[in-house]
Structure 1
């Protein structure tokens, strides 16, 4: 940093540093929001399924659907357990259907990230 000799230079430097501080604070808040989004249970499950697909090399929709159904079944057993009543059976099936559909849907934020990579930055 070069030395400051006048009040105008000092005021300009203060404004510059305040702007820089605001920009950095906004970046930190955005990173915290992104971390919170990634730590949601549904996103953790989706990310795990995506990593399994990439690692094992599942490319077909059939394999991805099978994984989604399996995760739905595990969620049903975890949440409802083995139930003898008809209500628990219906509730378990609904839970399984919801989890299977949520896991099988593509991850929306990754689409937004991909599109933002190709947009020109405004810096």
Structure 2
């Protein structure tokens, strides 16, 4: 077996270094293309939309806002109807936005009260059915 001299060892190191450099250059190019893809406007918007739809806090806030706006609109229609007078329209808009703001800030409390009322009503209906079934009248 032939012993390696300094030149052979140096040539092997050069080849090894070139191979490592080529590998790192290819990796850097791939990463650069990945960054370029992620910075395209369409991909930025898509990622932003994806993050927004997966955010539980944003979903909660949007739901609360929608419930508030819906409640405000419904109450405005109930109170003013299709009124054509200027005063009623202004009053209806004030009521709509006031109720929407109030409801959107207190959705959880309103849900709790609604559940409590629903439970009480359903219990009273069940009690009435039971008394009728047993022949008792209230």
> TM-score, structure 1 length as denominator?
0.41
User: Radius of gyration: which is bigger?
Assistant: 2
RCO comparison, higher one (Cα < 8 Å, 6+): 1
